[in-house]
Amino acid sequence: MLSRRFFLQALGAAGTIPALPRGVRAALPVLEAGASRVQIAPEGYSDTALWTFNGSFPGPELRFAQGERFAWRVENRLETPTAVHWHGIRIDNAMDGVPGVTQDPILPGTGFDYDFVLPDAGTYWYHSHAQSVEQVERGLYGALVVEETDPPEVDADITLVIDDIRLGDDAQIIPDFDNMHDRSHAGRIGNVILTNGRPQAEYQVRQHDRLRLRLINASNARIFELGLYGLAGWIVALDGMPLAEPEAALDTLTLAPAQRMDLIVDVTGEDEAFLLHFDRTGGYAQASFRIGSGTRARREPPAALPPNPDFPIDLANAVPQRVLMEGGAMRGLSEAMHLGEVLTGRQLAEKGLFWALNGQVGRDMLPLLEVPRGQSVRLGIVNDTAFPHAMHLHGMHFAEVLPDSTLGPLRDTILLAQGETKELAFAAHNPGDWLFHCHMLGHHAAGMGTFIRVTG
C-alpha cells in the first residue's frame, strides 16, 4: 500500500476530505462555491482572485471507495448561478449537474444536494457546468477519485490536475470570456500553465519507487502533449476506465480537455524525474520528483486494473447516427438552425455562435437521437472544421470503433483532429437526457452541443 506519510505530503495544501464513514448519519458535507484569493504567480506578484470550492484551488480532492454513496451539498456563495457536473461518473441523470437539462441552476445563497452511487473505480473530476467558460477558468473544479477495492500496489498515489489560465500582468484572470476570436478558433488558451493550482508540483520519491499518476486536464481548451523523464511505465486507465492490458507509455501522451489518464510508472532516473509538457518552444516541467536513494529493484509490469461493470456494446445491432461538425473560423457557417429558426452565419456570429452539429447551433428542444435503454448506438462523427474538438458524452462511456471493426478502450471524451472522422459506439444503458458536447468550453458556449435521450 502507499505510504501514508508520502500521501499526506504529496497532497500538500489542497488537502483531502475523507468520505463519511459508512452508516454515519450527519448533515451532508458541503462544497461551497465562493470567491477567494490564491497565490498563483511567483512571489512579488499579487495573489489572484478566484472562484473556488471550499477556498481551495483546485477544489478539494474527493476520494471514495467504489460502490460508495456520494452525498454532498453544494452551496452557492457566488453572485451568479452555478451547478456541479461529476464528469465521467455513470450517474443518475437527475444528479448530472446540467442546469436547464437535469436540474435548475443553484441560485446565489442556495444549495443543492447531490446524492448518487459511484459505480466505477477510477479517476474522475467535478466542475461547474454553468457558464463553464468562466466558472471553470476561475477555479471551480477538482479531482474525484474512486478507489478500487483491490488497488494496485504503489508507493504513492499522486493526482496531477493540469490547467492553463489566462492571466494579465496584475496576476488577475483576464475576464474576456466572450472573446469572439477564442470562440471561433481554438477556444480559450491560457498563458500560465498550472499543476494542482501551482506553476509546478514537487514531490520527493526514491529510486525504483512505483507511482500511480492520475492526470486530469482541467483546462478550457488546451490539448496537452505530455512526456515522462526519469519515469518509465504504463498507461493503465483512460477517462477512469481500466485498459484491458496496461500499455507501455513510450511516446508523447496526448491529453485533451477533460480527459484523464492513469499511469503506473517506476522511478528510473538518478536525481530528478519530471512530467513534462511540450509546446513549440520546448519541454516544461509540470511536476518534478526529487529522487532519494532506494533499495528496491525494478519490479514486474503491473497487472490490469480490476474491470468496472460492463455494459456490452452490440455493434451488429447498433443504431447508426451521423454527426457532422461544422463552422468556426476558416470554414464558417452559411446558415444553420438555432432555437427553431434558420439564421445566417453572420446573424449567428453576432450572437457569438459559430459551431453546428448536424446543422443545429446549440442545444435544441429535440435530442440528436432518442433510443430505448439497452440499445447500442454508433455515432459516425465527421469533423469538417479547421480545429480539433474534444467531444464528451455525459452519463455513459463509449468506445471508438477501430478500422478493423474492433472496439478501442472505453472513454468519455474523445479528440477529433481537424478534418478527422471517427466512429464511436456505446450501449445506451443509462436512462435520461445526456449532453454530447465539445469540451473546449468556448466551443460549447458557441453552439457545439446537443443531447441524446435514453428512454425507459
Residues that bind ligand C2O (CB under 6 A): 85, 87, 127, 129, 258, 392, 394, 435, 437, 439
Yes or no: say if 365 and 447 are a contact pair by the CB < 8 Å rule: no
Region of 100-108, 280-288, 383-391, 425-433 interacting with Cu ion (CB under 5 A) = 383-391
Please choose which of ligand C2O, Cu ion, none residue 127 contacts, taking the beta carbon within 5 to 8 angstroms, the exact cut-off set by kind.
ligand C2O
**Residue closer to ligand C2O, measured from CB, 14 or 130:** 130
Distances (CA, A) of 227 to 204, 210, 215, 243, 352: 19, 17, 12, 20, 36
- In this structure, what DSSP letter does residue 308 have? P
Binding-site member from 106, 440, 445, 446 for Cu ion (CB under 5 A): 440
CA angle 76/78/84 to nearest 5° reads 45
Please choose which of ligand C2O, Cu ion, none residue 222 contacts, taking the beta carbon within 5 to 8 angstroms, the exact cut-off set by kind.
none
Please choose which of Cu ion, ligand C2O, none residue 129 contacts, taking the beta carbon within 5 to 8 angstroms, the exact cut-off set by kind.
ligand C2O
Which residues 6+ apart lie within 8 Å of 140 measured at CB? 33, 51, 52, 53, 59, 82, 84, 127, 128
**Residue closer to Cu ion, measured from CB, 349 or 438:** 438
Task: Give the nearest distance from C-beta 220 to Cu ion in angstroms.
Answer: 11
How far apart, in whole angstroms, are the C-alpha atoms of residue 198 and residue 182?
24
Task: Give the nearest distance from C-beta 218 to Cu ion in angstroms.
Answer: 16
Nearest to residue 315, comparing CAs of 373, 379, 369? 379
- In this structure, what DSSP letter does residue 13 have? G
**Residue closer to ligand C2O, measured from CB, 141 or 354:** 141
**Residue closer to ligand C2O, measured from CB, 51 or 289:** 51
437 touches Cu ion (CB under 5 A): no
Please choose which of Cu ion, ligand C2O, none residue 258 contacts, taking the beta carbon within 5 to 8 angstroms, the exact cut-off set by kind.
ligand C2O
Task: Give the nearest distance from C-beta 8 to ligand C2O in angstroms.
Answer: 29
Nearest residue to ligand C2O, scored by beta-carbon proximity: 87
130 touches Cu ion (CB under 5 A): no
443 touches Cu ion (CB under 5 A): yes
Binding-site member from 438, 441, 446, 454 for Cu ion (CB under 5 A): 438
Yes or no: say if 389 and 448 are a contact pair by the CB < 8 Å rule: yes
Please give the grid coordinates belonging to residue 263. Answer: 499511469
Please choose which of Cu ion, ligand C2O, none residue 443 contacts, taking the beta carbon within 5 to 8 angstroms, the exact cut-off set by kind.
Cu ion
DSSP 408-452: EEEESEEEE-TT-EEEEEEE--S-EEEEEEESSHHHHHTT-EEEE
Region of 8-16, 331-339, 341-349, 385-393 interacting with Cu ion (CB under 5 A) = 385-393
How far apart, in whole angstroms, are the C-alpha atoms of residue 340 and residue 365?
9
How far apart, in whole angstroms, are the C-alpha atoms of residue 103 and residue 332?
33
Please choose which of Cu ion, ligand C2O, none residue 275 contacts, taking the beta carbon within 5 to 8 angstroms, the exact cut-off set by kind.
none
* Binding residues for Cu ion (CB under 5 A): 389, 438, 440, 443
